[in-house]
Structure 1
Amino acid sequence: MKTGSISLGRATQSIPSTTRSGAISGEAWVALMLLTLVYALNIADRYVLSTLIEPIKQEFDLSDTAVGFLTGTSLAIFYVTAGLPLGVLADRVNRKRMIAVAVGVWSAMTTVCGLSSTFWHLLISRIGVGIGEAGGTPPSHSIISDYFPAKSRAFALSVVGLGASVGAWLGATGAGVLNDAYGWRTTLIVFGMCGLPIAALIWAAVREPKRGQQDEVHELLVTTSSSLRETIQFIMSNKAIFHVMAGATALTFWGWGIVWWIPAFLTRSYALTAGQAGVLIGPIHGIGGTLIMVLTVFMMLRYHSKPLSLQPKFVGWTTLLGTLGSVAVFASHDIKVVTLAMWIFIPIIYIYIGPTSGLIQNLFPPSMRAKGIAVLLFVVNIANLAIAPQLMGFCSDLVAPHLVSSQDSLRYVLLAFTMTGFWAGYHYFAAARHIGESQN
């Protein structure tokens, strides 16, 4: 058995590269299903405003720059700011209670968003959503890692990733239909109220597992605390983890950052209503995304006993395919071609979730896992929630006055940013190379 070494404060322990594989309990499956539901709600509440960009923009008479700040950057600033301390907290407190509180907070604040009557009220409420959502994922992934052995974590976290496609489907189709029928405020109130009973269910039905119970590590390593600074130092010293982090950051900027603007792109370029755009995009997220995540789950099961380097390679190759699809979405002017290309591009942006989360959980020691996920969430959400909506909106406003048809500015800007998908693919291939070298 090969081992690696990491310094945790004053204690240095040897970390085995393999872990024991025990039977998966029934309560583990219950926790997995409920945490998948939580993730679906997280994505639905986060991306419902993407579907509602155009009606909100029209009501408050906003520029694309202002819309990007309101719908993405405002959430991201506080999401990532709160995410790191909450990740540290998740390594120290009862995680299932922390998740339940987080769900309750972001659901309540989503409801408040629907009650907002001014831009500033909506902005402050959106910030509250971000703070609540920051407390959900780090403890969720940490709990799953204590219920599932190392070889099953990529599989388990790929199952959780199914929540992203289901949540995006609800956030697109559900929000679009509700908006056309009742308006954007009622839509947000309905989405927010749906989360409160789920928060109560998590509190009542999920049991807090013992930390590190699925790892063959010295008990001192399981119980020893590690600081955020030590976690960041570990990331910077481990080339495989660094490239996984960088790859996920570039991928979310490319994929989720561009997808954020697709409803507005369809409305402007093809004269669709918010509801029609949501109905078009929703099944691509829900059906296409779910099918691609099921494929990812199958591939992670297939890689169960194979070299770990195959997981980032799988993400790298599929990302390159998705990048070509994203180019076609904005290069074509035929809605049929655009729709077909979206069926390639949008589902593929889900693939990275399970393998990336599994790699993070397997490459970090138990005392750093929640903080490791918190750092990952920090960098990827800076990219896809803070930078992407703001930068793409700003560039659209910048380009618009120089075009014959200002409505085409968003198309050309999004087409230019599709190139970042190739950058993401490079980092995953680099991660695979360094993981392979460490296994030899």
Structure 2
Amino acid sequence: MTHTTVISGYRWYVLAALTLAQTCHGLDRAVIGLVLKPIGSEFHLTGAQLGLLAGLAYGLPFALAAIPFGYAADRFTRKSLLTGALLAWSGATALCAMTGGYAGLLGGRAAVGLAEAGGSPTGLSILSDYFGADRRSTAIGIWYLSSGIGFAVAFFVGGMIVANHGWRITFLVAGLPGLLVAPLVFLTVKEPRRGALDRIAGTLSKETLAHRLRLLFARPGIAWGVLAITCIATGIYGMSTWLVTYLVDSHAMSLPRAGMIVAIAYGLLGSVGGLGAGWGVDRVHARAGGFDSARTAWIGAGIPVVTAITGLAAVSAPSSSAAVAWIMAAGMFSAAYNGPVNAMIVTQAGPQLRGLAVACVQTSANLIGVGLGAWLIGKVSDVVGGRNGVAWGIGAAMIFCLFGGVFLMLAACQIRAHAPAPDAY
């Protein structure tokens, strides 16, 4: 395989290219939340069935594939793995347009989840070898702008498409960008040398997957960090998936208007919050004399708590204007944890376990977080019933964000109690 050392200007191009690829990931993942209402109407589905389609149908295959992808990312050429995964999930999204029923949609979303499992382990691993620990929170925060951008495109542009052309054309259009971006990544992104910026050149190890997992979770803060992100994902993904339905049901909004509101909150403002948090944490570390994982975890712990408070306020607001205001606030904080918390995890993992660490985060977050969050809200909606059923479901999901904050505090305490993680094992 071909390796390259980091060139200062070129690394920002790599960051842009990887962010563009991950934007396609966010777009194809988020589009389901926009089309739940028309799909449910066409196929006469319950809230639990829609929650299964938006959650576990995607999250379970993602979870099953993430660790194998992470293991591969630590051993093989990462840009090739990323390119193949990007082509696969984009094609699967487009093919959802051709399904004839609920079973076909479940299969299509399963294929999307399976392929998207390769996005984060490869992308974040490459990125961590282009940016050292002193700039890593900022770089990861910029990379996570992809979630907000993809979400915004899905709900803003997709809202207009679904209103005028239906959900099938929406799926088709959502899948096309990734088919164009994949060749760009493959042809222009150079494979970096592993661990060069961590003052150790990573060598491809021969240890078994089980042994590498034991090494990973023996490192301070990793287990608590994975649990934290899982809980946060349960609340945030569940809420963002069902917000359009909540606004339509509880506040009688039109589908395009509801989609635009959610796009602004979780797309535009979420991106601003994510970028600002990553930059802010790096500035704190610079003034304190260098990156510190425990400090990062302490800062990150407050973010999901604020997200939970604003989310609960949004679904209990007495008027549509108040609900929109609180949704904007919740959206601002929804992605703010990504840069700091993921920077803490990949730094604690070290260069030879980064792909596996990201894969473990993604496995747990998608199997439990995405799978449970969307389904839980749908189930609570069925049980409560009426126009406010979804609001009660979102409120229940916000409790998980509070647990996420607690787990990050425990991660910080564990890291502080141990010696700093080694750069490699």
Structure 2: stretches of 5+ with no match in the other structure: 421-425
Assess, with a 3 A threshold, how the Cα gap between structure 1 residues 91 and 176 changes in structure 2: closer, same or farther.
Answer: same
What residue in structure 1 maps to residue 360 of structure 2? Answer: 375
Instruction: Show the counterpart of 1:31.
Output: 14
Which amino acid in 1 is paired with 2:393? V
Residue 250 of structure 2, aligned match among 254, 269, 283: 269
Counterparts of 2:89 and 2:6, CA distance in 1? 35
In the alignment, is the contact (CA less than 8 A) between 1:161 and 1:293 conserved in 2?
yes
The residue number in structure 1 matching 2:399 is 419
Q: Which residue of 1 aligns with 2:304?
A: 319
Amino acid in structure 2 at the alignment position of 1:319:
P
**Cross-structure match for 1:362:** 347
Conserved? CA contact 2:145–2:274, under 8 Å: yes
Q: TM-score, normalised on structure 1? A: 0.89
Match of 2:239 among 249, 258, 264: 258
Q: How does 1:272-351 map to 2 (within 5 A)?
A: 272-302=253-283, 303-304=285-286, 305-351=290-336
Displacement, 1:24? 4.9
Indicate the residue corresponding to 2:102 in structure 1: 119
Give the structure 1 partner of residue 230 of structure 2.
Answer: 249
In structure 2, the partner of 1:192 is 175
Residues 82 and 123 in structure 2, CA contact (< 8 A), matched pair in contact too: yes
Q: In 1, are the aligned partners of 2:75 and 2:204 still within 8 Å (CA)?
A: no
Residues in 1 aligned to 2:334 and 2:399: alpha-carbon distance in whole angstroms: 14
Structure 2 residue 46 is matched with structure 1 residue 81: no
In structure 2, what is the Cα distance between the partners aligned to 1:385 and 1:419? 15
Say which is worse superposed, 265-274 or 200-209, in terms of deviation. 265-274
Q: Is the 8 A contact 1:51 1:172 kept in 2?
A: yes
Aligned partner of residue 214 in structure 1, secondary structure: helix
Partner Cα separation in structure 2 for residue 145 and residue 41 of structure 1: 20
CA distance in 2, matches of 1:55, 1:317: 37
Of residues 71, 92, 102 in structure 1, which corresponds to 2:85?
Answer: 102
Does structure 1 residue 45 correspond to structure 2 residue 25? Answer: no
Q: Which moved more, 1:232-241 or 1:75-84?
A: 232-241
Contact 2:293 2:347 (8 Å CA) reproduced? no
Distance 2:124 2:189 in 1: 14
In the other structure, the counterpart of 1:222 is 203
Does the aligned pair in 1 maintain the 2:313–2:323 contact within 8 Å?
yes
Displacement of 1:212: 1.8
Matched residue SS, 2:41: helix
Q: Is the 8 A contact 1:153 1:361 kept in 2?
A: no
Aligned pairs for 1:11-26 within 5 A: 24-26=7-9
Do the aligned partners of 2:265 and 2:330 also contact (CA within 8 Å) in 1?
no
Structure 1 segments unaligned to the other structure (5+ residues): 1-21, 401-405
2:382 corresponding residue in structure 1: 397
Number of matched pairs:
412
Larger deviation, residues 136-145 vs 382-391: 382-391
| Secondary structure of residue in 1 paired with 2:144 | helix
SS in 2 for 1:318: helix
- Match 1:149 to one of 126, 132, 135: 132
Gap change, CA 1:24 and 1:433, over 3 Å in 2: farther
Identity of paired residues, percent? 25
Corresponding residue of 2:416: 436
Deviations along 1:36-69, one digit per CA (max 9) or x if unpaired, are: 1111110111010101110110011100111111
- Mapped to 1, the partners of 2:292 and 2:93 lie a distance apart of 43
Distance 1:24 1:323 in 2: 41
Contact 2:221–2:345 (8 Å) recurs in 1? no
User: Secondary structure at the residue paired with 1:289?
Assistant: helix
1:272-323: CA deviation from partner (whole Å, max 9, x where unpaired): 2321210111111232112212311321320242533221122111222221
